[in-house]
Amino acid sequence: MLTDPVNPSMQSRLEVRGLHLWRGEHHLLRGISFTLSGGELLQVKGQNGVGKTSLLRCVAGLLPAESGECLWNGVEARLAAAQFNQSLLYLGHSNALKQDLTALENLVFTLGLKRTVSDSDCQQALSRVGIPQCAELPVRVLSAGQRRRVALAQLAMSEAPLWVLDEPITNLDVQGITMLEGLLAEHLARGGAVVSAAHQPLLAGHPGNRELVLN
């Protein structure tokens, strides 16, 4: 039953072909290709400055590549941007949080752009990432690790089949990394796909674990 709605893994397929990117005089990405299906986690590795973030931004559609294509379920992502963006959750280097809003308000306003959310849903997501006590505090007063957790709370509520995460474990403590791995494993089990830039391996030993080394 390929069209079974409870098993959407068949329709989550990211295909990147021959991606080339120049930054100024520097030929950063030289023909990157990979295919990622539902249930798989691609970890992009490489030294600092090798182009991990640029690759993720190209995949997310924030950065247009000079050549190559990025297909989502067989459709060029740039041509069906609105549709692709609804299937995508991108978390960059910055946590995309407003310092003057509380953790809860930040979640409501970020997720509210994608779908209708209630305060209690967001409160639950904050509990899921282990910081329910920070809901009413302005992000300005939170520690770097707590801010990261507020940003990661989006993952706990996400219905998007494709997650693109740039260094998601930055500033997280050991429990935080375990919590993130739990979220990732759930997402993969639901048939979602993840592209993540990471220096440390995540979900070691998971059957869907794949690796892409840039150099």
Partner 1 sequence: MSVNSQSLSPFSLAALILRRDLHLAARRWDQVLQPLVFFVVVITLFPLAISPELSELRRIAPGILWVAAMLASLLAADALFRPDVEDGVMEQWVLSGQPLAWLLLAKTAGHWLLTGLPLVLVTPLVATGLGVSSEHWLLMFSTLAVGTALLSVLGAIGAALTVGLRRGNMLMALMVLPLEMPVLIFGARAMDMGLHGEAVTGPLSLLAAMLLLSLVLGPFAMAAAIRISIE
Binding site for partner 1 (CB under 8 A): 8, 60-64, 82-88, 90, 92-101, 105, 109-110, 112-116, 138, 159-161, 190-192
**Least distance in Å: CB of 162 to partner 1?**
10
Cα separation, 18 vs 30, in Å, equals 8
Q: Are 162 and 89 in contact (CB under 8 A)?
A: yes
Helices 144-157 & 103-111 angle (0-180, nearest 10):
40
Cα separation, 11 vs 123, in Å, equals 31
**Least distance in Å: CB of 180 to partner 1?**
19
Q: Compare residues 97 and 125 and give the one whose CB is closer to partner 1.
A: 97
Q: Compare residues 92 and 130 and give the one whose CB is closer to partner 1.
A: 92
Q: Compare residues 64 and 207 and give the one whose CB is closer to partner 1.
A: 64
The three-class DSSP label of residue 56 is helix
Q: Compare residues 48 and 94 and give the one whose CB is closer to partner 1.
A: 94
**Least distance in Å: CB of 86 to partner 1?**
4
Per the listing, tokens 């030294």 go with 47
**Least distance in Å: CB of 155 to partner 1?**
13
Calculate the CA dihedral of residues 184, 125, 140, 181 and round it to 10 degrees. Answer: -20
